[in-house]
Structures are given as C-alpha cells and as structure tokens.
A and B are shown apart, each in its own frame.
Chain A
Amino acid sequence: MSKYFFSIGFYLFSISLMAQEQTKDSIPVKTERYGVRVGVDLFKIGKSVFEDGYQGIELVGDYRLTKNYYLAGELGNENRTVQEDRLNFTTKGTYFKVGFDYNVYENWLDMENLVYVGFRIGVSSHSQELNTYKVYNRNPYLGEAPDVISGAKFDGLSAQWGEFILGVKAELFSNVYAGFSARIHFLVNETELDGFENLYIPGFNKTYGGSFGVGFNYTISYFIPIYKKKIEPKIAKP
C-alpha cells in the first residue's frame, strides 16, 4: 500500500516538474499593446441621416494607462429641433466628456476585447431657441388659439453632469473595434433660463425636470498601437 502511494506521489511530482519546465520553455512571452483608440459614434451619424431636425456627431477616444485602466473621453456637437405636443424648440451646442474606463474582461491569449465600467464628467456649451408654442387652455370655449411664434433665444447656456457607463468593445478585425456603451447621466448643474428651461442638453440628452438621463452610443474605432508591455507569465506554485 505505502509503495503504491509512493509511486503515485513520485509520478505527480515528476509531472509537476515537467509542467514547470514547460512553462519556462514553451509558452511565448505574452505582450500587451498600449496606444490610442479613436472612433466615431455611428448612431449619431445614422440619426443625422434619417431623422429630420437632427444633426450630430460624436468623436470618441481612449488611451490605455495600465492593464485595465483607460483614460477615455467623447467630444460631440448636436443641433436638434424637437416638436413636442405643445412646443417646438431648437438646441445647438458642443459637449466634452472625460473620465476612465476599467476593463473587467479577462482576455484569452492575445485578444484585446473589453467589457468595461466607466465614469465620465461631462460639460456642455449650448443655446436654446423657442420656435413656437401653444397656450394651454383647459376651457377652449372661445376656440383653440393658433400656435404662437416666439423666436426667443437663450444663449450662453451650460450644464455639467456625471455619467456611469457599462460598455463593450470588440475587435472586429485587425485594430478595428466595434463598441457599445449604455450610460446613466446625473445632472450636477445647469444654467437657469429666465422664463424657460433646458429641454435638451447636448451630450446629456433629454431632461424631464428630473436630474437623471440615459444615453448610449455605438462606436466604430481604430486602435493605434504606441508601445508594447511584456507580461511575465504567472508560475503556479507547486
């Protein structure tokens, strides 16, 4: 019996020795690429083409800082006219978002896909113009009044907000990535309008009086490698 045990023990030991030798000799040194990824939001481009009253573009970019952390940001411009039931307005402006993405996805081999959580600080500079409105009259005995043409313009507006992000980026083919991110926005500060309100904030999206909003983007981006970092293979303890 003891002899039997000993031979098994010896056998396992020899395997572990072999395994250790193999890790040293046959596994190639893994490298991770670091660089800048730049891209564009396809949804905003599509919306500009297919939706009347909308023109918008968003450029996205990230820079890999460490194994899992990326410095990331978006720069966009929107011009949107919205027809609500009781009013029509146009918002124009530019926004900038900056923050971090943290990759939680453990890639196999040399794949470079991302499933990430992120945070952004966003700021907008915009203007809003009230085009037409209706007067709400619960007692239309005298007849519905026609739409009022206003043209009141509110310039020099700004808003600041934060965003929590959940997203993915997948390498479609060499250095080209498709991405999606869903975002929850929370408004921190906005310019108050005298006799009106911010009905749309570029980059933040719709506001409904409440301070929360949602957003998303579908991006296509290109990765520009700058340098490589070697990853020391992890040696399992015997």
Chain B
Amino acid sequence: MKRILWILVLSLFFHSCEKDDICTPETPTTPRLIIEFYDSENTSVLKQVANLAVKGQGLNTALNFNLVSKIELPLKTSEDQTLYDFTINSTSATSVFNVDKIEINYTRRDIYISRACGFKTYYSLNLLNPVVETNPENDTVLWIKDINVIKNNIENEDNVHVKIFF
C-alpha cells in the first residue's frame, strides 16, 4: 500500500517532458520572386547587373546585388502589391546611375506547412499588369528595356519567374 502510494507520488514528476518541435531550415517556406537579367540587345544572353540596389518603398536600407544575373526579392505577405526602386550603378555619381520604379501585382494564398513552421504564402502574378515599370519624377530614362513574366505562380525558388532585359 505504502509502496503503491510512492509510485503515485514519483509518477507526478515524469509528465513534464514534452517533445520539441522546430521548423527545420530545409523546410520550404514563403518563396521569393526570382528575377533573371538578360541583354536587351541579345535577348538570349544573361547579363550581369553592376551595383544594383533594390529598395522597398518606404524603407531606408536596400538589397544590394553586384555582378550577378539572378536576384531574389521578397514580396509582401499581407498585401497584394509590392513596390521596389531598382537603382542601377547605385554607387556611381555619374549619369549611368538610374532609378526605375517597379510595381509587382499579385494575388496570395496562405498554405499550411506544419505546427512549427506555421503557414507560407504562395503568390500568383496578375495576368493583366504583373510587373509595371515607371520612372520617378524628373527622370526620363528607363534603364530597364523590357520585362517578361515566365512563370505566374510563385510557389518555390527553383524556377525563374521574371526576366528583365536591359
């Protein structure tokens, strides 16, 4: 009887252990927009960007890319539009420095991943005006010559979604 009561008391201690559940880094989560840059003169040839600064509207810091032909940009998960300023030759003070405004329009779907990771957002670029390019005020030069959407559905980072020609 006494021994059984002891087992009861001891058993109070071992229910406090719970299994950990973590979101592993390999788990695919919200994908970024993958953009590849091509030569506008020879549209099948990849072209590297020089000191490209991509700045989200209203933000103070930029994402910087140099001597690459492929970049990855996060999109807003709570709005159907993301605005970026693309500045080419951003470190140069001369006339080669140029800013183009890029507006990315899409619809969103939130997809369940797991208890630990929560949800991820899948995007679908609009068919009508997926990526819109404009000049800032007092600027008449568009350094980006053309934009092509390759893949409307953004569900992973394995494929290129948009091609930019300059």
Contact = CB atoms under 8 A, between A and B. Distances in A.
A231 interface: no
Contact of A168 (B7, B59, B72): B7
B119 A135 contact: yes
A141 B8 contact: no
B117 A86 contact: yes
A196 B119 CA distance: 10
Nearest to B8: A180
B116 A86 contact: yes
Contact of B110 (A84, A133, A170, A206): A133
Interface residues of B, number: 37
B30 A136 contact: yes
Interface in B1-47: 1, 4-5, 7-8, 11, 14-15, 18-19, 21, 23, 29-30, 32
A135 B121 contact: yes
Nearest to A171: B1
B110 A182 contact: no
Nearest to A181: B11
Interface string B50-79: 000000100100010000000010111110
B160 interface: no
A5 B38 CA distance: 114
- Interface centre among B56, B75, B78, B121, by most A CB within 10 Å? B78
B82 interface: yes
A208 B7 CA distance: 29
Contacts of B8: 168, 170, 178, 180, 218
A218 B5 CA distance: 12
Contact of B30 (A138, A170, A178): A138
A98 B121 CA distance: 43
Given A87-B118, A170-B1, A170-B4, A138 B15 contact: no
Interface in A137-191: 137-142, 145-146, 148, 168, 170-171, 178, 180, 182
A206 B56 CA distance: 41
A171 B77 CA distance: 60
Given A139-B74, A141-B63, A197-B112, A208 B19 contact: yes
B120 interface: yes
Contacts of B119: 86-87, 133-136, 148
A142 B59 contact: yes
A79 B120 CA distance: 27
A222 B127 CA distance: 70
A85 interface: yes
B29 A137 contact: yes
Nearest to A194: B112
Contacts of A180: 7-8, 11
A180 B120 CA distance: 42
B112 A216 contact: no
Ordered nearest first, which 10 A-B pairs have the shortest CB separation?
Answer: A86-B118, A170-B4, A145-B78, A136-B29, A139-B74, A135-B77, A145-B77, A137-B30, A134-B118, A180-B11
Given A178-B5, A182-B14, 18 more contacts: A86-B116, A86-B118, A87-B118, A87-B119, A135-B110, A136-B29, A136-B30, A138-B30, A139-B30, A140-B74, A141-B74, A142-B56, A142-B74, A142-B82, A145-B76, A168-B7, A195-B112, A208-B115
Interface of B: 1, 4-5, 7-8, 11, 14-15, 18-19, 21, 23, 29-30, 32, 56, 59, 63, 72, 74-78, 82, 110-121
14 contacts: A84-B115, A87-B118, A113-B4, A135-B78, A135-B110, A135-B118, A136-B23, A137-B120, A138-B29, A141-B56, A168-B4, A170-B8, A208-B19, A216-B11
